[in-house]
Structure 1
């Protein structure tokens, strides 16, 4: 980090802070007001700010992104409206993973054991086909395994295993996630 004492100065460099100002203006004028279906436009804007964006990514216009240059979004993943990607550190979202409305993915914190409360950033990895449900909070340094489901309003303080349904405060594995890949469409008859 730029400064180890948050009482005497900013945690980030002037370049980083200026980049976030420019990003904030572009976010308001070109990203946030874009129509919901224009996912490729928002992906283009994020790439212009250094994000690594795969094909078919769906980032909705009201998603809040702190620093696009710390994002890696793999093919066909989705970030819903009102999701917060607090990307002070690197955030990676895997293939077909979903971050739902109001989920808060927080890659930075402060070291409260030091008098200057220096900023500490730790990467967050959300595995392929994982789902972080509405209003869940994911702490810095956490890995959410492939196919893992994190229940709504859960608080994830440690790594969650692959292909498990997890929930709670703190979040804990509850049961295996079993996929029903039956391709036969169901037909309902309403009388």
Structure 2
């Protein structure tokens, strides 16, 4: 039993290494797309991954049509990540679904899934923490740290993120 667990850990470590060291730096957007599908990521057509992304557990990530993932974006699918249609995730944004329980003596992992609604815009260097839902058409400003759900068509910014404005409802 220990051997099986050890071999499984080696397998997932190799997948992590291949995706984040090689695949994320391939010069072809289409090739990156097909390799991520091969590793179990649920991708709709017309999803663009720009170079240098970082993926944790591709099997836990679902991305819908028309999504753009910018350079050096970290997507954590260990507890489940769903990204709606026509979402833009800009340079160096981080989306976590799992972190450590600081009250646990062993610093055990805890978390839950993250959902990002259609037409949302996650600006550069923003951080979304586990268990968050970003509403349809919402904007997370650059550098924001999202600790609570974001209602549809709102603009949030700051640390922790608070509502700083509202986005017009249009046919985006």
TM over 0.5: yes
Q: Is structure 2 residue 50 aligned with structure 1 residue 67?
A: no
What is aligned with 1:42? 32
Rg comparison, structure with higher value? 1
Give the conservation status (yes or no) of the 8 Å contact 2:16–2:55: no
Using structure 2 for the length normalisation, give the TM-score. 0.89
99-108 or 170-179, which deviates more: 170-179
Give the conservation status (yes or no) of the 8 Å contact 1:161–1:173: no
Using structure 1 for the length normalisation, give the TM-score. 0.80
Give 1:24 shift.
1.3
Give the conservation status (yes or no) of the 8 Å contact 1:82–1:101: yes
Unaligned runs of 5+ in 1: 1-12, 182-191
Give 1:42 shift.
1.3
What is aligned with 2:70? 80
Q: Which stretches of structure 1, 4 residues or longer, exceed 6 Å deviation after superposition?
A: none
Q: Residues 167, 26 of structure 1: CA spacing in aligned structure 2 closer, same or farther, 3 A cutoff? A: closer
Larger helix fraction of residues = 2
- Picking from 22, 27, 42, the partner of 2:15 is 22
Instruction: Find the aligned partners of 1:26 and 1:109 in 2 and give their Cα distance.
Output: 21
Instruction: Find the aligned partners of 1:70 and 1:53 in 2 and give their Cα distance.
Output: 11
Unaligned runs of 5+ in 2: none
Q: CA RMSD in A?
A: 1.9
What is aligned with 1:173? 163
1:41-190 superposed matches below 5 A: 41-178=31-168
Question: Number of matched residues?
Answer: 167
Instruction: Find the aligned partners of 1:152 and 1:74 in 2 and give their Cα distance.
Output: 23
